Amino acid sequence: MGLAARLCLSAGVAGLGLCVANQLTAPALTPALERAGVLASFLAVGLMLVSILWTRAVPVAPERVDLQGEQGLRLADDLPEPLRQELGWGSQMLLTATPGSTVLLYWQGRTLLQRGVLGPGGFKPGVITERAWSTGKAIGLVNLKLYPGRDEFQALPEGIPALIVQPIGDAGVLLLAGWSPRCFSRSDEAWVEGWSLKLRTALQEWSDSSASRSSAEAAG
């Protein structure tokens, strides 16, 4: 609750208390005094309601978590230059346009990208990622510590408070961790989904060309 809302609430509580005290200490309850007491009570309760509505209209932002780890960028060595540029540009946009702290891209059994606050790495899909693949829809974990399957994301920095798990087809996943609980909006989710759709085509083309080269080398 902000300072203005607290002052409004305090004024309402004090006014209601003074009104009750005035009624109890009055030598006689005249009709005029009763009417004044009722009006004063309504005003005091109104101030308290205003403070509550004020808090809902301007909620306090969740506290930012101090994540431990160095800031950096890790890219797989065998990526072609156009794909490296796409991953570098897209990950930077996610970290600047959203409250994201860490981006991780997993594709066909490999981690191709880590950016932001770096974790230990070695991501292995678990139950939550499998569910995202099966539904084809992103899963938003607004407060990660409440989810029993959070050990799946030990490759990310320890203590991440929120996470978006965005599937890329049935072979990849894009993870975007946040700085605080419930920090991602609908707009942020749209950013992640839009970039994942673009990435799916680029990653599939790269995988197909790599497979073709491998087949040609084996045949030769």
Q: 136 and 85 in one domain?
A: yes
Q: 163 and 116 in one domain?
A: yes
Q: 107 and 196 in one domain?
A: yes
Q: In this structure, is residue 156 part of a structural domain? A: yes
Q: 189 and 81 in one domain?
A: yes
Q: Is the pTM of this model over 0.75?
A: no
Q: In this structure, is residue 52 part of a structural domain? A: yes
Q: 122 and 48 in one domain?
A: no
Q: What is the pLDDT of residue 146?
A: 86
Q: 151 and 44 in one domain?
A: no
Q: In this structure, is residue 65 part of a structural domain? A: no
Q: 157 and 49 in one domain?
A: no
Calpha distance 91→103 (Å, rounded)? 7
Domain of residue 162, CATH code: 3.30.450.40
Q: What is the pLDDT of residue 69?
A: 86
Q: In this structure, is residue 21 part of a structural domain? A: yes
Q: What is the pLDDT of residue 68?
A: 86
Q: 90 and 25 in one domain?
A: no
Calpha distance 211→205 (Å, rounded)? 10
Q: In this structure, is residue 100 part of a structural domain? A: yes
Q: What is the pLDDT of residue 84?
A: 95
Domain total of the chain = 2
Q: In this structure, is residue 64 part of a structural domain? A: no
Q: 208 and 110 in one domain?
A: yes
Q: In this structure, is residue 63 part of a structural domain? A: no
Q: What is the pLDDT of residue 214?
A: 67
**Helix, coil or strand: residue 80:** coil
Low-confidence ranges of the chain (pLDDT < 50): none
Q: What is the pLDDT of residue 5?
A: 72
Q: 204 and 147 in one domain?
A: yes
Q: Could you tell me the end-to-end alpha-carbon distance of the chain, in angstroms, rounded to an integer?
A: 71
CB 199 within 8 A of CB 128: no
Q: What is the pLDDT of residue 163?
A: 96
Question: 37: domain range?
Answer: 3-57
Q: Which residues pair with 111 in a beta bridge?
A: 106
Q: 21 and 49 in one domain?
A: yes
Q: 196 and 141 in one domain?
A: yes
Residue reference for tokens 């491998």? 214
Q: What is the pLDDT of residue 73?
A: 95
Q: In this structure, is residue 142 part of a structural domain? A: yes
